[in-house]
Structure 1
Amino acid sequence: MAAALEDPADADLSRLAELHGVATSYSPAPGRDVPVPASAVIAALAALGVDAAGPGAVRTALAVRERELSERLLPPTVVHWAGDPRGPAALTALPPGTRLRVRTEEGEERDGTWNLPLGVHRLTAAAPDGRTGHARLVVAPDRLPAPPGRSHGLLVQLYSLLSRRSWGMGDLGDLAELAGWAGRTAGAGFVQVNPLHAAVPGAPTDPSPYRPSSRRFPDPVHLRIEDVPEYAYVPDRERLNGLLERAERLRATVLDKGALIDRDAVWELKREALELVLAVPLGPGRRAAYDEFRAAQGQALDDHATWYALAETHGFDWHRWPGELRDPRSADTARARAELAGRVEFHARLAWLTDGQLRAAQRAAREAGMAVGIVHDLAVGVHPDGADAWAQQDVFAAGMSVGAPPDAFNARGQDWGLPPWRPDRLAACGYAPYRDLLRALFRYAGALRVDHVMGLFRLWWVPQGSPPTEGTYVRYDADAMLAILALEATRAGAVVIGEDLGTVEPGVRETLARRGVLGTSVLWFERDWEGDGRPLPPDRWRDGCLATATTHDLPPTAARLTADHVDLRDRLGLLTRPATEERAEATADAAEWLALLGSLGLLDLTAAGPPGTDEEEEIRAVHRFLLRTPARLIGVWLPDGVGDRRPQNLPGTWDQYPNWRLPIADRQGRPVPLEELTAAPRLRALLDVFTQAREG
């Protein structure tokens, strides 16, 4: 085991770590403090550009940092919450007589008054002793936008939502159709989907939507090819019809033969079709719209498209490219971009087309009466070999990976294989990559779910080559991260939902709630953990949340009620206790919840058997219970509407289980296409729970 920071001789290293936001211990539970290995602290500091390899280096680095902090007038980024007459907290330590000037985004000069417009401005400080300081000033609204009233909606993994028109996996046409149906027929206010970020291509593509190549640009695999206007003008109809026939066969293997979703096969077909479609010249109006998009996205889109063009030639791991091409700003990369101009244009056009269909889906949702519309999902990080990691190398921490420390559910911790952003570099550039990312996502989102929202405060960094147990937390400026989130959400008029499940640092949920970020509450986890441990009555749930019965990482409700999820984990060898014990505990857990539902008059238990005896009525009762809570948003896991028993993702598995590749299916495992879903009596009966509550 690596040595921990417990010796008084480590005081200098501990102080240095503290000044750079690197933790030397963490608390997995109240009252328990666990020291982290010194090696993890040293590695995290190294990733921040700080040499702490020996006592002498530590003393030197500590002196440099203390001098830097004592001499600077302003931190790189300053936050001011609009309406606070006191001004930014970061300025309270300025010397008396310091003069402040603000240059707003619009170029207007202001003195030290804090009646400023929202935005990211430039702040200058001039102290009486001659020192000056410059910072970006983020002026943000005090709270994020709230949902427009209470509403229910659907939760779905888009790839799993196949229709008889999609090419082997769900697409944006399917999303628009589902949203239109749910809004008009079921009175739903939103549809939440998985991250639709661009993937790292190349067979086999990682199917996880949470390990994307880029979070800023969407994945063209989700395009509905026939909805691209130029599709109608492709001259080679014979070749196009051949692709449609292949797409029909691929779709049939999933819907009719029960095959897994094959993302690579889908993309192979769509890429070939898009080569034909994009060869059709754009008309004047379309050309103007594309040029406007390309100008607005600027260097980021050029880098994104260039990475994909280079990857077609040199492979999909930029670390293995010829030396100069690993640098997005090198002369060799500029020459390659010019030589591959046609392919760069192709990938830039794909980004534009996908953006357009995403906005069309949101438009369809709002036209169907949805108060929120499409809820998009922001993954916690990006693939180390992908486009963002290549283009933004200066803000990523080399040699580190994001994960989670050991806890009651995973004694070995977790390593997610995602490089973290450097908090110092983010602050130095005014959080530009983060601002641009949010702005891009809010173009087509009615709301945004932020995965692992605790990452706005701190992330568990794991040195490459070390186990997750030998990592440490690195802190981010949560005030700045939240202020920018509030600013961009307000500009877009969008709601933000934070995924705050699991172990959460004290005060984080309270801070998020104060700023208007909704939390996530899942029925099976809502117990009185500080009391008797029993299921939490509905009146004790928080109101500022999205309340659901399950998520993509958990068993569907039918499987939870019948303890089928225990059998699945037993078959895969994932249980740490005898299956009989696990099943008994799961059955008792479900029975406790059903007893609470019965006591509230939500479920008739007079002739009831064990949990799952009347699963359809029990699932409806679960959602009646969610309606009894004060939650602002209530989500219905779409597979629950047809009795699916398979989780979309089974954490802790890789090849043992087909994560992220399952179509929505009924209780017998038969895939259910969108056309049958929207007509399914079981789904309609479940959604009638909300209709009846609204009308009653």
Structure 2
Amino acid sequence: MSEPTEESLLAALAERVGIANHYHDIAGTYHATTNQTKRALLSAMGFAVQSAAELVQAIKAWDEAPWRRLCDPVRIIRAGSKDHLSCTLPLEDGRERDIVLHWRLSDETGAMVRRGQTGPSLEAAEVRFLDGRRYVRVEIALPDDVSIGYYTFSIQVEGAIDAPVSSMRLIVAPEQCYVPQELEHHSVWGFALQLYSLSSARNWGCGDFTDLNKVVEWAAKHLGAHLIGLNPLHALRNTFPHHTSPYAPFNRLYLNELYIDLERLPEFFSSEDARRAFATTEFQAQLKLLRDSRRVDYDSIASAKRTMLDFAYRQFLKENYRGEEPELAAQTPRAKLLERFIETEGEPLELYAIFQTLEEERRLIQSKMTMWQDWPAQFRSPGQAAREYGRRHRKRVRFFQYIQWVASEQLKETQRLAKESGMAIGLYNDLALGAERNGAESWMYQRFLIHDADCGAPPDAFAPEGQNWGMAPWNPIALKESGYEPIIRLLRNNLRFGGAIRLDHVMALARLFWIPRDRAASEGTYVHYPFQDLLAIVALESARAKNLVIGEDLGTVPDYVREQLAKSRIFSYRVLYFERHEDGALKGPEEFPEQSLAVVTTHDLPTLTGFWSGEDLRVRAGLSAVPDDASKQQAWDERQRDKGHLLCALKKELLLPPGMTEDPSSVPLMTPALCQALHLYLARTSSLLVLANLEDALEELSQTNLPGTVEAHPNWTRKYAVSVDGFLGDPRLRDLAAVLRSARRYDKSSHDSTASAGRLEP
């Protein structure tokens, strides 16, 4: 037999770790993964692959690793299933009869749930010899009546020379995600909005949680809406233009302090320093400028709120604690609530606050923001030096923990208000795919990330060169070794604030497009993730939080991914613009899957008014994003055809407003009547959830984000032309809500809003 070639060894290792040998793009075009890409991604994952000898050694180590440890780091089973886990022991021939495996199952508090033993006279399920030593794999039957949750499965071997002890994380998950009982027989609707875009006479230049409360109460009580969709509320650096995208956040575990309403904090008003600074002519003039501006001035708002939060925090310490740093002792119920929050959040919040404190200090020293990769060596990782720094600066660390506590309490209050106001779901939050590589989350979880690769998307008609999102992807090997701890924490922190959640680019549960660092997106390929494990964790966290899960499944989506998502009751995300047949005709309302959320458009696409007028085409042409006049004309002609398809679909459903025909020339501009007709079309679909974008109802022209631009276009900054106070009397919002409400009748009295998951089948 001939020796394997270096190319075949490279392919073998790549296959083992999940790097795709090839893929098909959205158009069905075949792309082979080059050896150069395989080698670059394997190196990024930590493998030595520069020679055939190194590849042989890497493959050997990979294949032998499961045999050289007593048990795997994590095992996931479905509740009620009869299952087992494997243990691997180095045993001489025949010694199985002398071995007894004692096991103990403990819950998350450490309390013992079960114990048992396997053996003596164990049966070898498999035997392998490594370096002349005999290894035996044996199986332990798991209890089939353990409730869903996270457990530690500890094993002690009796009868072996070294009597090894080991443990693993055992995750018991439900088969499917939670779906509210209210959706068993009723479809519901709501509004989607960008929280920062809300304007009011009282906020400090961008929407805040008090504005959101007013919108929620208005939408529930006056319009009959049952959910409010939000942009990701993750922590941002809040500096324009590079650190304002909610989809490239500073940290997804925590909230953006820009949304805090300072005037709801008792310590803000009891602080003499805060009151004095707030009352100055200069500060009030600045607030007026920030409120009156049609754009969100992130830098100025962040500076104003951080200054006032600092005053409030100092007063909070004065009123609620005694002792000096670091021996602060809580003295009041309010202080004890903060301490309980800090204790519950544990290490992640501690590390986040340490990062914030370190970054603040480095900025003061160097008079500019610095990347953590350039910090002094001892602080470039969340190790002992960083933790010791946190202990020395306990008071300042607690300041950043205090900010998160305040934000968390205000957002939780909004969800409580939504449910009390009669909403079936309430807040529908959004979890971004990744975080910026220079932010706090990437510092905290750097050992779980691939730093020499970016994630993105392969070439398609929307982006012929592919897309590079500039974020470091998760390392699937490191995630599994950790028992999926970062993913669990990320889901848990984001599921606690609402009744539903949108997982951005949900296909990443199965595979993600990796691009070698500093290479073109076209040189990337897909890397596979432990799909079934991650689906199980999503289902478990969804069930615990009683949150509906929607997966943003736009783009290149393999059939098997959608099948498994549906099986897990993760709702599909359907955009009217994209729901077409091959000839361009819109799918009929009955063709939308029941288990889905339907919208007309998204933050990355033109608004209805912008789409109809071609505003996005004009903007792209003005930015030289369209190469020549022929391309501009082609784009305009395609838009006219798309508009015609929409009008034809409305005509087929007898929804065309009076005076309009299927000819786009009969409808030169978007009108409230046409907007209502398109949403009524959505409301007639089989989708159980329908969202109307606030900017569509308000006839906003410009889209929220123009993908592929940063400095050239003011993304993520626009405010709505109508203030929160003006919503109630706006006939466009009232009439659109009436249309949706009549098409999606919901009788809350027939259901208990606190009921458990329903019996909806995919």
Q: TM-score, normalised by structure 1?
A: 0.92
Partner of 2:58: 61
Deviations 1:100-137 (A, max 9, x none): 94514142124522211111223357899979874322
Question: Which amino acid letter does the alignment assign opposite residue 345 of structure 2?
Answer: Q
Partner of 1:261: 296
Residues 102 and 646 (structure 1 numbering): CA distance in 2 closer, same or farther, change over 3 Å?
Answer: farther
Residues 695 and 386 (structure 1 numbering): CA distance in 2 closer, same or farther, change over 3 Å?
Answer: closer
CA distance in 1, matches of 2:372, 2:694: 38
- Kindly indicate whether the alpha-carbon contact (under 8 Å) linking 2:79 and 2:174 is maintained by their aligned counterparts in 1: yes
- Kindly indicate whether the alpha-carbon contact (under 8 Å) linking 1:561 and 1:615 is maintained by their aligned counterparts in 2: no
In the alignment, which of 101, 110, 113 is matched to residue 108 of structure 1?
A: 113
Partner of 2:579: 526
Aligned to 1:406, what secondary structure does the other structure show?
A: coil
Query: Is 1:79 the counterpart of 2:76 in the alignment?
Result: yes
- Kindly indicate whether the alpha-carbon contact (under 8 Å) linking 1:168 and 1:247 is maintained by their aligned counterparts in 2: no
Query: What's the C-alpha RMSD, in Å, of the aligned pairs?
Result: 2.6
- Kindly indicate whether the alpha-carbon contact (under 8 Å) linking 1:205 and 1:263 is maintained by their aligned counterparts in 2: no
Partner of 1:294: 342
CA distance in 1, matches of 2:625, 2:25: 23
Partner of 2:121: none
Query: Is 1:325 the counterpart of 2:321 in the alignment?
Result: no
Residues 562 and 37 (structure 1 numbering): CA distance in 2 closer, same or farther, change over 3 Å?
Answer: same
- Kindly indicate whether the alpha-carbon contact (under 8 Å) linking 1:166 and 1:251 is maintained by their aligned counterparts in 2: no
Partner of 2:279: 241
Query: Is 1:578 the counterpart of 2:631 in the alignment?
Result: yes
Deviations 1:511-534 (A, max 9, x none): 0110011110000100124xx442
CA distance in 2, matches of 1:115, 1:161: 49
In the alignment, which of 203, 223, 231 is matched to residue 268 of structure 2?
A: 231
Residues 92 and 153 (structure 1 numbering): CA distance in 2 closer, same or farther, change over 3 Å?
Answer: farther
Query: Is 1:146 the counterpart of 2:199 in the alignment?
Result: no
CA distance in 2, matches of 1:600, 1:543: 19
- Kindly indicate whether the alpha-carbon contact (under 8 Å) linking 2:193 and 2:228 is maintained by their aligned counterparts in 1: yes
Aligned to 1:13, what secondary structure does the other structure show?
A: helix
Q: CA deviation at 1:578?
A: 2.7
Residues 310 and 125 (structure 1 numbering): CA distance in 2 closer, same or farther, change over 3 Å?
Answer: closer
- Kindly indicate whether the alpha-carbon contact (under 8 Å) linking 1:181 and 1:368 is maintained by their aligned counterparts in 2: no
- Kindly indicate whether the alpha-carbon contact (under 8 Å) linking 1:247 and 1:269 is maintained by their aligned counterparts in 2: no
Q: CA deviation at 1:69?
A: 4.2
In the alignment, which of 680, 691, 694 is matched to residue 741 of structure 2?
A: 691
Q: CA deviation at 1:575?
A: 2.4
Partner of 1:413: 466
Q: CA deviation at 1:340?
A: 2.7
Partner of 2:749: none
CA distance in 2, matches of 1:617, 1:100: 71
CA distance in 1, matches of 2:578, 2:534: 28
- Kindly indicate whether the alpha-carbon contact (under 8 Å) linking 2:510 and 2:529 is maintained by their aligned counterparts in 1: yes
Aligned to 2:709, what secondary structure does the other structure show?
A: coil
- Kindly indicate whether the alpha-carbon contact (under 8 Å) linking 2:72 and 2:168 is maintained by their aligned counterparts in 1: yes
Question: Which amino acid letter does the alignment assign opposite residue 308 of structure 2?
Answer: A
Residues 656 and 201 (structure 1 numbering): CA distance in 2 closer, same or farther, change over 3 Å?
Answer: closer
Aligned to 2:502, what secondary structure does the other structure show?
A: strand
Query: Is 1:121 the counterpart of 2:151 in the alignment?
Result: yes
Where do 1:119-268 residues align within 5 Å?
119-123=149-153, 134-147=167-180, 148-149=182-183, 150-200=187-237, 206-236=243-273, 237-242=275-280, 245-254=284-293, 258=294, 260-268=295-303
Residues 573 and 305 (structure 1 numbering): CA distance in 2 closer, same or farther, change over 3 Å?
Answer: same
- Kindly indicate whether the alpha-carbon contact (under 8 Å) linking 2:206 and 2:291 is maintained by their aligned counterparts in 1: no
Query: Is 1:463 the counterpart of 2:516 in the alignment?
Result: yes
Partner of 1:440: 493
Q: CA deviation at 1:369?
A: 0.9
CA distance in 1, matches of 2:242, 2:467: 22
Q: CA deviation at 1:338?
A: 3.3
Deviations 1:458-487 (A, max 9, x none): 111222211111222221111111111111
Query: Is 1:616 the counterpart of 2:669 in the alignment?
Result: no
Deviations 1:359-396 (A, max 9, x none): 11111211111111111111111111111111122211
CA distance in 2, matches of 1:321, 1:473: 33
Where do 1:198-597 residues align within 5 Å?
198-200=235-237, 206-236=243-273, 237-242=275-280, 245-254=284-293, 258=294, 260-281=295-316, 282-283=319-320, 284-315=332-363, 316-331=370-385, 333-529=386-582, 532-576=583-627, 577-597=630-650
Residues 73 and 537 (structure 1 numbering): CA distance in 2 closer, same or farther, change over 3 Å?
Answer: farther
Question: Which amino acid letter does the alignment assign opposite residue 444 of structure 2?
Answer: A
Residues 92 and 457 (structure 1 numbering): CA distance in 2 closer, same or farther, change over 3 Å?
Answer: farther
In the alignment, which of 33, 38, 46 is matched to residue 49 of structure 1?
A: 46
Deviations 1:220-271 (A, max 9, x none): 11111111222221213221212751453233441xxx4x211011001111
Partner of 1:667: none
Residue range with higher mean Cα deviation, 627-636 or 229-238: 229-238
CA distance in 1, matches of 2:158, 2:337: 52
Aligned to 1:578, what secondary structure does the other structure show?
A: helix
Residues 520 and 146 (structure 1 numbering): CA distance in 2 closer, same or farther, change over 3 Å?
Answer: same
Q: CA deviation at 1:91?
A: 6.1
Q: TM-score, normalised by structure 2?
A: 0.84
CA distance in 2, matches of 1:598, 1:228: 53
Q: CA deviation at 1:140?
A: 0.7
Query: Tell me, which stretches of 5 or more residues in structure 2 are unaligned?
Result: 117-141, 321-331, 364-369, 747-762
CA distance in 1, matches of 2:476, 2:492: 19
Deviations 1:189-246 (A, max 9, x none): 1111111111135666611111111110111111111112222212132212127514
Aligned to 2:346, what secondary structure does the other structure show?
A: helix
Aligned to 1:342, what secondary structure does the other structure show?
A: helix
- Kindly indicate whether the alpha-carbon contact (under 8 Å) linking 1:172 and 1:358 is maintained by their aligned counterparts in 2: yes
In the alignment, which of 29, 32, 35 is matched to residue 35 of structure 1?
A: 32
CA distance in 2, matches of 1:132, 1:345: 38
Aligned to 2:357, what secondary structure does the other structure show?
A: helix
CA distance in 1, matches of 2:28, 2:622: 37
Aligned to 2:447, what secondary structure does the other structure show?
A: helix
> Identity across aligned pairs (percent)?
32
In the alignment, which of 23, 26, 29 is matched to residue 23 of structure 2?
A: 26
Query: Is 1:678 the counterpart of 2:728 in the alignment?
Result: yes
Aligned to 2:25, what secondary structure does the other structure show?
A: strand
Number of equivalenced pairs: 675
Residues 459 and 127 (structure 1 numbering): CA distance in 2 closer, same or farther, change over 3 Å?
Answer: farther
CA distance in 1, matches of 2:172, 2:624: 52
Q: CA deviation at 1:31?
A: 5.7
